[in-house]
Structure 1
Amino acid sequence: MHVMFVPSWYHNKRNPVHGSFFKEQAQALQEAGIKITVAYNEIWPLTLLGKVKEKIGFSFNSEDNLKTYRYKNFNYLPKNSKMFSIFNRRLERVYKEIVKNEGKVDIIHCQSSFWAGISCLYIAKKYNIPFIITEHSSLKRAVYIKNSYIPLVKNSYLGADVLIAVGNGLKNELYELTGREDIKVINNLIPTDNFYISNPKNEDFTFFSLAFLEGEKGMDVLIKAFAKYFRNRKAKLIIGGDGSQKEELKKLSKSINIEKQVEFLGALKREDVAHYMSNCDAFVLASKHETFGVVYIEALASGKPIIGTYNGGAEDIINRNNGLIVEVDNIDALGKAMVEIKENINFYNSEEIRKECIKKYSKEAVTKKIIDVYNSLLQ
C-alpha cells in the first residue's frame, strides 16, 4: 500500500518544527508498514521576495527517513481564490514525479483542507484515487480564510472518500458545514515515549501551562485565577511558550502582585516540554477553543492531572480520573478547580493516568485506526 501524504503546512528552513505532528504521524504509519511518500506544496508569501535563498521548483530529500517531494514557489495571487488553480497544478506535478519515481499511489491522505485538501480533491478526481482528509483546524476560527475560499473547502470535505476530525467538537463543526453523517473521529497521535513520569518534590505546588501566548489561549484568565486563589501561598505558576501577548501578560502578573510566583519560560524545545511536564504537579490550560489539545495529552503522558475548559477539544480528553474541566473565561471556576487539584493531588494516580493516555493516544493506537480506514478504502 502506497500513501501520498499531503500536509497543508510542514517544516521548512525558516520554521523547523512547523507541522511536526504531521511528520510524526507519517513516520508512525511508515513504521507500521505503510509505504509513505510526503508531497508538500511549499507556498512562500510575497513578503519573502528577495529574502528566500532557496531554489524555486522541485526538491527531493529523505527527511527523517521519509521520502519527501516539495514544490517551492511564491503565492503570486494572494487573497485571490484563483491561486488554487495554480496550487492544483503544482501539486499535480509533484504527484506525477512521485508516481514516476515511487510507483502507483493507492491513497491520498491530506492533513487539513486549507491549503492542501483543495488540491488533493482535484488530483483524486482526475486520477481516480481514494482520498482522505484529516481536519485539524476550525474553519470558523481560521485567520486566513476568506469567504470566497469556503465553498472550495466545503467541496473538498464533500469530495473526500473519508472525512476525519481530530475531535468531536470539530466533528460537529464539520457536520454543520457539510451535513455529512459519516465523519470519523481519530485523535492526533502523541509520541508518548518522549514523556515520562517523575515524582517532583516541589517546595511550592507547581502549575504548568504551555501555549502560544495569544488571546484565545486564555493566559490572562489563568493568571487572574492564580492570583485570586494563590497569591502569597506556597504555589507557583510556570508558563511556557511565546507570542504577541508575552509582555502584556508579564505586566499583568506584576500589576496584581504575583510576579514572584509566575515564571515565563519563552519558547521551549521538545525535550524541555517533556522536562517541565514531568516536573510540575499539575497542568492547566484555559484556552477558549481547541480542536484537539495536544498539550493536554502530553501532560497525561507525563502522569499529571490536568485542568481545562469546555473549549471543544478538552471534553474528549478530560475525565474525573485525570482532571477537571470548567467554563471558558470563568476566573472563579478555574481558580477553584486549581485549589481542588492541589488539595486532592493524592487522588490522582500518575501510573493510571499515563496508562489510560497510552491506550488512547499512543502512535500504535492511532495508527491502527488510520490503517483500518486505509484498508476499508482498498477492499
Structure 2
Amino acid sequence: MNILIISCWYPSDENPAQGMFVHEHAKAMTAAGMRVRVLHFNTYPSSDIYRRDVYSEEKDGITVYHVQIHSRFHKAVLLMKNHLENRLVLAMDTILEEFSPDLLHAHVVFQAGILARRMSRIFGIPYVITEHWSGLDWFSKAFYMPVRQARRAYRDAAGVSVVSGFLAGRMREYMRVDRDIEIIPNVVDTELFAPALANDVHVKSSAATAPENEEQVNMLCVTSFGKGRKVTKRPELLVAALVLMPDDEKKKYHITIAGAGEGLEAFKKLVDENNLSSRVVMAGFTPPEKLAEMMRHADVLPI
C-alpha cells in the first residue's frame, strides 16, 4: 500500500523536535512493508512579510516534501485555508509525478485533516485522520477557527484514530465526533526505550555534569520550549522549587533539561539569574538513542 502522510507537525530545520512521533509512525509503516511519503506544511515566524520554501529531502529513507511559509503574519497565514490548499495542490502535483498514494493519512485535524479532506476530493484518494492534539477544547470555542470544517473532516474520513482514550473523549465532547474512533497509542521503540536492569551499575546521565554524591537525585525533564498558546509542561517550576530550598537541600538535586525551541534562551536566563547553572543543565534537542540512555540513568522523570 502507498500512503501519503499529511501533517503540520514534522521534524524540520526550524523545529527538529516537532512531530517526532509522526516520523516514528512513518518509519513503522515503512518497516511493515508500506511505501510512504510525507507532505509537511507549516507557517513560521519571520521578519519577512511572506517567503515560501518548497523542497524535499530523504529522512531515514523516507521522502519528505516540505512546504514552509515564513511570515511576520504566520498565524494569520495558517488560517488561510484557500491559500494553503493552493500550495498543497501544487505540492500534490509534484508528488504524483513519482508516487501514487492509495491513502492520505492526516495527523491532527487542524489544518492537516481539513486539507486532507480537500485533497481527497480533488484527487479522488481516501483519507484517514490520526488525532494527537490536546487543544480541541479551546479550538472548538474559538470563533475564528474552522471548527465546522474540522467536524466535516472527521465525519467524511474513511477512518479516525486517536492516540489515547482521553483524547477520544475530548473529540466526542468538544468536536461532536459521532462515529467509531480507533485508539492506537503512539509508536514507541520498546527495545530502545527500555528500563535499566536492577543489577545495572547506576551511571549518571552523560548530559549531566553533576559531582559525585551518593545522596544526589538525578532528574531528567523532557520538554519543549516552543512558544505556543498553551503551555503543557512547566520546567520553570523546577527552577522555582530549587530557589525555595535551603542550600544544603538544593545540593541533593541535579536536573537535566532535554528540549529545544524559541523559549530555551529565556529559560537559560532564568537559570542563570537564580545562580542555578550548577544544578540545572540544558541538553538541548536530544536524539532518541541518547534520550533513552539518559532516561535509564535518571532517578526521576518529572512530567
> What is the TM-score of this pair, normalised by structure 1?
0.61
Q: Determine whether 1:238 maps to 2:258.
A: no
Asked whether the equivalents of residues 8 and 113 of structure 1 are also in contact (C-alpha less than 8 Å), the reply is no
Alignment partner for residue 156 of structure 2, among 146, 151, 159?
159
Q: Determine whether 1:183 maps to 2:178.
A: no
Asked whether the equivalents of residues 239 and 265 of structure 1 are also in contact (C-alpha less than 8 Å), the reply is yes
Q: 1:247, 1:61 → 2: CA distance?
A: 32
Partner of residue 271, structure 2: 250
**What is the CA deviation profile of residues 296-351 of structure 1, one whole-angstrom value per residue up to 9, with x for unaligned ones?**
xxxxxxxxxxxxxxxxxxxxxxxxxxxxxxxxxxxxxxxxxxxxxxxxxxxxxxxx
Shift of 1:25: 1.2
Partner of residue 126, structure 2: 130
Partner of residue 62, structure 2: 66
Residues 187 and 33 from structure 1, CA distance in 2 versus in 1: closer, same or farther, beyond 3 angstroms?
A: same
Asked whether the equivalents of residues 219 and 249 of structure 1 are also in contact (C-alpha less than 8 Å), the reply is no
Shift of 1:118: 1.2
Partner of residue 11, structure 2: 11
Q: Determine whether 1:212 maps to 2:228.
A: no
Counterparts of 1:1-379 in structure 2, within 5 Å, are: 1-45=1-45, 47-49=47-49, 56-57=53-54, 59-73=55-69, 79=76, 83-103=80-100, 105-137=101-133, 138-140=135-137, 147-176=144-173, 177-196=175-194, 197=196, 198-200=200-202, 203=214, 204-212=216-224, 215-222=231-238, 232-233=248-249, 235-240=252-257, 241=259, 243=263, 246-247=267-268, 250=271, 259=276, 262-270=279-287, 271-285=289-303
**What is the CA deviation profile of residues 347-374 of structure 1, one whole-angstrom value per residue up to 9, with x for unaligned ones?**
xxxxxxxxxxxxxxxxxxxxxxxxxxxx
* Structure 2 gap segments, 5+ residues each: 205-213
Quick one: which amino acid aligns to residue 31 of structure 1? A
Comparing 110-119 with 239-248, greater Cα deviation is found at 239-248
Shift of 1:224: 5.9
SS of corresponding position for 2:47: helix
Q: 1:278, 1:226 → 2: CA distance?
A: 23
Shift of 1:128: 3.4
Shift of 1:31: 1.5
Structure with the higher helix share, 1 or 2: 1
SS of corresponding position for 1:79: helix
Shift of 1:223: 5.4
Q: 1:61, 1:247 → 2: CA distance?
A: 32
Quick one: which amino acid aligns to residue 24 of structure 2? E
Q: 1:228, 1:40 → 2: CA distance?
A: 44
Q: 1:23, 1:133 → 2: CA distance?
A: 15
* Structure 1 gap segments, 5+ residues each: 286-379
Quick one: which amino acid aligns to residue 250 of structure 1? V
Instruction: Tell me how large the CA RMSD over aligned residues is.
Output: 3.5
